[in-house]
Amino acid sequence: MARLRHIAIATKDPDKTAAFYQKVFGLKFIKKVPDSPRGGGVFLSDGHVNFAFLNYPSDEAADMVGGAAYEGLHHMGFQVEDVQEANAKLDGTGAEILGDAVGSHHSFYFEEKVRGPNGVIMDISAQGWDLEPPAPASGEKKA
């Protein structure tokens, strides 16, 4: 069974939005991703779900018309055991394949990106998302 492991919220101020979720819900800081042509942002986790607060610089990066200006729930990600099996299940559903980690949507966070019913964008991944902060490098103190 697939598991919901990732929720992405589009925002013009990822730091401020992430700080809200940290303060109110106690989410843990995972990492900050610098701005790039695909966007940048802050990643947090509750230990079960990875939350991304992302600033998309263009509609193309956001995979939606008006995406550069949009703020709110943007997409979700499901961790599956087998991406090829998930792709086979997508066949005939009308889902639109937006890209994959090797092609137009190079990413270390998912293997497939699709637009499902009602235009909902979903990441599909067998590797999953970071749910814990990275371990400190040798000699570093844990935050």
Q: Which pLDDT band, with edges at 50, 70 and 90, does 140 fall under?
A: low
**β-sheet with 3-10: strand ranges across:** 28-33, 40-45, 50-55, 3-10, 72-79, 121-125, 112-115, 96-100
How much is the pLDDT for 38?
84
pTM as predicted: 0.80
Query: What residue ranges define each of the domains in the chain, with the CATH number in brackets?
Result: 3-125 (3.10.180.10)
User: Mean pLDDT across the chain, nearest whole number?
Assistant: 86
Residue whose entry in the numeric block shows the structure tokens 């991406």: 83
Cα distance between residue 22 and residue 143, in whole Å: 15
Query: 85-126 pLDDT, tens per residue?
Result: 988 888 888 888 887 654 444 455 677 888 887 788 888 888
How much is the pLDDT for 106?
46
